[in-house]
């Protein structure tokens, strides 16, 4: 028997593997957030209303708000070719382009944005903004609180998709865009799309909310709550104030578990069966408690991948913002809210393998819009 025979495929001692899941890589940064002084890459920045504080829907106040964004193409002389791409929960402004020192992953919509693609920079001026509360350049929990000189951490207030859209409207003002040719996005991005049409119908020519909902469902809220609880119960979360910890001592396990929970309910049982079946990583170590099946290995991989590029507090803040999404809140009813889209063309699409936002939720959007002649 060789030394390698005493280890599982990923290098774990079989005895340890029987008791504990595969550990994350040692020495990971405390947060995957972009921080001032890091390479900017394609990011551009603007301050939102620098002459006054930014008051949030829930009553919280941010003294200063900076928004990070990226653009592709050229704004036409009449500013009538601008497209806003809204990103999902763990997305960022890097919707198109290569990965590198400043951008840990390739553009998340490279197949849609680019020469000859649906959103062609030769024809459109395409903008993607890192949302308020995010962690890739826009003001979020990992940003420095000007009142304390330290990261906001646990003191960062609760935000909503409406707060995100208000901050994005300031970016549009900064860019000289009075009216978007199109606002498009999926999941949390789709929530922003809907709010753009309801809050600023005069500033949008068309909307494309993809795989999203008029309001967060109990199914979504329940799954999200489980993921957030896993995150905050990580001892290294330290109540949300972990930024001064040494590398390797951030709430990595909690964030990785939250990500795994999300990866499961983003997809259907059928899509998991088709992709993974009952394939095992290493048949020799089948009889352990952890990480024996390919699906487990996939969830481990996705968890660590997110830990390397995201911030735990941002995950909490944005995940809760998704739960709070409800176009009818303080607007009387869904029909009253959607009535503001009467003159705005709306295209909605669903993904059959998405259990979080299944086709029936897209039908609700279609029927609501159809009912007011949108």
How would you write the pLDDT of the chain (374 residues) with one tens digit per residue?
Answer: 333 334 344 444 544 444 456 778 888 999 999 999 999 999 999 999 999 999 999 999 999 999 999 999 999 999 999 999 999 999 999 999 999 999 999 999 999 999 999 999 999 999 999 999 999 999 999 999 999 999 999 999 999 999 999 999 999 999 999 999 999 999 999 999 999 999 999 999 999 999 999 999 999 999 999 999 999 999 999 999 999 999 999 999 999 999 999 999 888 899 999 999 999 887 777 777 776 889 998 999 999 999 999 999 999 999 999 999 999 999 999 999 999 999 999 999 999 889 899 999 999 999 999 988 65
Q: What is the pTM of this model?
A: 0.92
What is the torsion angle, in degrees rounded to the nearest 10, for the CA atoms of residue 138, residue 143, residue 148 and residue 152?
A: 100
- Cβ–Cβ < 8 Å for 247, 28: yes
Beta carbons within 8 Å of 362's beta carbon, 6+ residues apart: 211, 212, 348, 349, 350
All structural domains of the chain: 29-371 (3.40.50.1820)
Rounded CA-CA distance 200/209 in Å is 15
- Cβ–Cβ < 8 Å for 266, 356: yes
By C-alpha distance, which of 129, 127, 125, 128 is closest to 79?
125
Beta-carbon neighbour count of residue 241 at 10 Å?
16
Where does the chain have alpha helices with state H?
14-19, 161-175, 188-199, 218-232, 252-265, 269-276, 294-307, 312-324, 334-338, 359-371
Rounded CA-CA distance 76/57 in Å is 34
């Amino acid at each position: 028997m060789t030394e390698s025979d005493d280890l599982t495929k990923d290098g774990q001692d079989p005895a340890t593997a029987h008791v504990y899941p595969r550990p994350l890589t040692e020495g990971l940064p405390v947060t995957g957030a972009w921080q001032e002084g890091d390479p900017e890459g394609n990011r551009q920045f603007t301050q939102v209303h620098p002459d006054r504080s930014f008051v949030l829907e829930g009553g919280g106040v941010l003294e200063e708000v900076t928004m990070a964004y990226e653009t592709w193409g050229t704004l036409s002389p009449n500013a009538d070719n601008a497209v806003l791409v809204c990103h999902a929960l763990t997305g960022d402004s890097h919707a198109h382009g290569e990965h590198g020192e400043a951008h840990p992953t390739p553009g998340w919509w490279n197949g849609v944005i680019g020469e000859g693609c649906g959103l062609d920079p030769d024809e459109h001026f395409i903008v993607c903004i890192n949302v308020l509360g995010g962690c890739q350049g826009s003001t979020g929990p990992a940003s420095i609180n000007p009142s304390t000189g330290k990261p906001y951490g646990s003191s960062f207030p609760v935000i909503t998709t409406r707060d995100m859209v208000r901050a994005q409207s300031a970016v549009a003002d900064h860019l000289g865009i009075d009216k978007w040719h199109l606002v498009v996005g999926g999941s949390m991005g789709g929530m922003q799309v809907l709010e753009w049409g309801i809050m600023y119908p005069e500033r949008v020519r068309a909307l494309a909310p993809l795989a999203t909902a008029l309001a967060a469902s109990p199914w979504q809220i329940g799954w999200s709550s489980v993921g957030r609880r896993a995150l905050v119960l990580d001892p290294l979360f330290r109540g949300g104030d972990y930024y001064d910890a040494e590398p390797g001592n951030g709430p990595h396990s909690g964030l990785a578990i939250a990500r795994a929970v999300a990866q499961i309910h983003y997809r259907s049982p059928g899509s998991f069966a088709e992709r993974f079946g009952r394939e095992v990583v290493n048949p020799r170590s089948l009889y352990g408690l952890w990480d024996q099946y390919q699906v487990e290995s996939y969830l481990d991989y996705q968890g660590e991948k997110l830990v390397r590029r995201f911030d735990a507090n941002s995950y909490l803040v944005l995940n809760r913002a998704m739960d709070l999404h409800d176009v009818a809140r303080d607007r009387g009813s869904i029909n009253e809210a959607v009535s503001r889209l009467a003159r705005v063309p709306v295209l909605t699409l669903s993904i059959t393998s998405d259990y979080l936002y299944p086709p029936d939720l897209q039908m609700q959007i279609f029927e609501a819009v159809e009912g007011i002649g949108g």
